[in-house]
A = this chain, B = another copy of it.
Amino acid sequence: MNRPTMLRAFVSARSLRALLLVAGLSSGGIAAAQADPLPSWNEGAARKAIVSFVREATDPGSPRFVPAGERVATFDQDGTLWVEQPVYAQLVYCLDRVPALVKAKPELAGVEPFRTVLAGDRAAIAKLTAKDLERIAVATLTGMSVEDFQSDVRRWLQAARDPRWRRPYTDLTYQPMQELLRYLRANGFKTFIVTGGGQDFVRAYADEVYGIPPEQVVGTALETTYGYGKDGKPFLAKEPKLLLDDNDAGKPEGIHLMIGRRPRAAFGNSAGDRQMLEYTKAGDGARLAVIVLHDDARREYAYGPALGLPGTKVGAFPQELYEQAVKQGWVVVRMKEDWKRIFAFEPAPGEPAGRSGE
């Protein structure tokens, strides 16, 4: 190697490092970019299909190349990015808020379903109907300013613990999906959450937990009303009136309203994601639809009822959805065989248990 070449090599290495550092990537990021971007995924059809899609979409020589500005990927949250069993975290939040609600509105203390929740009778709470739960949700998610709600959700998330792992709910995100979010973003995709859960609830932590800012969270939304406080300052109050129901057909409708174009890739896990997945997959050019099947009772949960897995009230994956997935070429991710590890607090692949974790 002659001197000018050495100089160029030196310059290039420094340029690259400066570039990556200024672009917000740490040295760890540089190493990771060179290493496997999906270390928690086993080799197999699912991983292969995802990687092929990304290569095809980002290769300027590919006939199915997708310009950077059009790379939109949408993710369901409950059961797709984090655990949804035995009940949605947001429902636990609503139940936990009932005492504060009754303190503010004592007339509710003797009224069902608030009385049952206050009494703390778990068996009775488990028997509440969908209508009861909706009443509780609407009452506990409204009547405050949007900022007060955000602060309250954040406080709750710090204190609340999932009953099985005894960890904050935000620890229960799936490590393979976290890697997928980062992998897609590193390849120029803008990542969105499209959840049947509450838009404002998920926005309270999505940036910190998934690196997804509030404006990239689409969810079920109640109306707000603009008004003025006693101090004359304007604020937005959360109202008990449904504005967007971001489930089923409401997902593609919400995507159009909030994002304005058909996604290139969509990720879901239940019947409520069907329309988002088929809408995404039906577009022209490179498209990816991925559905997660929970079939790992030991490491997480196993539920369907597709493929004979037990049925469940939360996040059902019926047999006809599985058949549609196969027919329309969606990628079915089987947690048991496709994911090396489920959570970041488990030992990393190849590491002995106990060395990793927190």
Contacts and interface: CB of A to CB of B under 8 A. Distances in A.
Contacts of A207: 69
B252 A282 contact: no
Contacts of A282: 233-234
Interface string A187-208: 0001010000001100100010
A259 interface: yes
Interface string A79-123: 000000000000000000000000000000000000000000000
A259 B224 contact: no
Interface residues of A, number: 46
A230 to B, nearest CB: 14
Contacts of A203: 260
Interface stretch (A169-177, A210-218, A311-319): A210-218
A162 interface: no
Interface string A256-294: 111111000000000000010011001000000000000
A45 interface: no
B253 A223 contact: yes
Contact of A257 (B69, B243, B279): B243
B243 A226 contact: no
B253 A225 contact: yes
Contact of A260 (B14, B214, B226): B214
Contacts of A221: 257
Contact of A18 (B10, B15, B225, B234): B15
A326 interface: no
A18 B261 CA distance: 33
Contacts of A15: 11, 14-15, 18-19
Each complex incorporates copies of this chain amounting to: 2
Contacts of A244: 257
A146 B11 contact: no
A259 B19 CA distance: 30
A23 interface: yes
A126 interface: no
A249 B7 CA distance: 61
B253 A224 contact: yes
Interface string A222-237: 0111100000011010
A260 B217 contact: yes
A312 to B, nearest CB: 25
A22 interface: yes
A215 B214 CA distance: 12
A132 to B, nearest CB: 27
A214 B259 contact: yes
Contact of A14 (B11, B69, B278): B11
Most B CB contacts (10 A, CB to CB) among A72, A217, A226, A236 go to A226
A236 B190 CA distance: 22
B278 A252 contact: no
25 contacts: A11-B11, A11-B15, A14-B15, A18-B18, A18-B19, A19-B19, A19-B23, A23-B23, A69-B213, A199-B257, A213-B260, A214-B260, A214-B261, A215-B215, A215-B260, A217-B260, A221-B257, A224-B256, A225-B253, A226-B249, A226-B252, A234-B279, A234-B282, A236-B253, A243-B257
Cβ-closest 7 pairs across A and B = A214-B260, A226-B249, A15-B18, A215-B259, A15-B15, A19-B19, A234-B279
